[in-house]
Structure 1
Amino acid sequence: MIRGCVLSTGVSTNVNRKRWSLVNWLALAIAILLTKNVAAILWEYRHYFPPNFEANFLIGRQSMFQGLYRQAFYLHLISSPLALLLGIFMVGSGLSGLAMRYHQLSGRVLATIVFLGVVPSGFIMAAGTLAGWWTGLAFAINASLVALFCALAGYHAYRRNHQAHKRWAMRTFLMLCAPIVLRLIAGVSIVTNTSSPTVYRWSAWISWLLPLLVFECYNQLRTQLPVTQPPQR
């Protein structure tokens, strides 16, 4: 968008370059934060190979940790971080214009991981949650939206509707970030001594509803802002 603007003065060029630089730095900071949280989640995997039923997530799941649920659990462990890391790369390459030659290939790989790994395992994990049907419904809707948004992002990429593709791709990425947001909420609740089953149930909804709401509000504000035309020579 910035690259497409026709700038009439050197001052305007410098201002836009500065803004673009700030966007890059902000995107980099968010990518580092997300990658750090993914690394923290991966560190917890030491409790899952082999499964330690005294570890936080596996407490109370020993009787159900077999058959389809066990397979879905490990499929989710592998596919979700891969999808999130690919999403971080794709958002970064889409914003900066760098590595675009790999963007399409990464998109196909991400869609494959989402539809063959994240979504089906997410549904099974949602059905097997110990926090009740309300929490399971939140996780199931999240998995459904990941599939829907990813499919729409791919459709608009195929139709070369780049703006629509970016919007649906960002929505897909935000849905994939739900476990990170859920983890952050859990950390805040522990620090503030407000952790409880009720907080967790609502956190399952907030983890994807809040980022999506913020994004939709941002898009709405962008469409309402007047477009500044460059001065005529």
Structure 2
Amino acid sequence: MKKEDIIFSDWHRWLFGTAPPAFTGEVAVRALLIFVVMLVIVRLLGRRMKAVTSVSELAVILTLGAIIAGPMQIPAAGLLPSVVVLVALLGMHRISNRLAFKYRRVELVQQGDAALLVRDGCLDLPAMQRQALSQEQLFGQLRNESIAQLGELRRVYFESNGRLSIYKLAEARPGLSVLPSADAPPAATDGLAPGQQACATCGHVPVLTDHAGTRCLRCGDENWVPAVLKKTAPK
């Protein structure tokens, strides 16, 4: 389109673009046909596509969106080439999944591996940095799982699908609160652990035999907050 063709008061162009008005009805038919083809393709891609469980599945979803955009809106674009591309994408996805099932290295390249973020109530800061996950982002996800403090946790894994797998201790220990800093620690049995401090950076709670001055033995920081105790409810 040339510069002189852009006229602000050209309502025909605003409503229909450069295509004739008759193309509007064709767009509806194109969208219906592409929708039916997409249903078939996504169904054949497998159930995991419904949850977008890995980077490869997310890449496929984004590619599908790019493929179907043109045929539905551009008069000069035909439907058949896009259908061929969709079928080719399905084939590539099936082959890559077969290779991932057979070879562990291919699976790691496609989907990544689980990362250990919390070990025995303490944050693994290097692992969080590699995953580009901040402390507040992790704490927000833990709050969604009704976790009040890190002392409840034995292991927390960051799965390749972006979800957390949480394994709790049988009996909670004093730990760093995951509540927002503006909020006070909970009261009663879920309140402060008397006389114990937690590192605000990694969650380490020192014992009497620890001797490192004011520095945390795990991360070397000097930012301390009162530890929180949450007792595990009886089963």
Q: Larger % of strand: which?
A: 2
Question: Do Structure 1 and Structure 2 share a fold, with TM-score over 0.5?
Answer: no
TM-score (norm 1): 0.26
TM-score (norm 2): 0.26
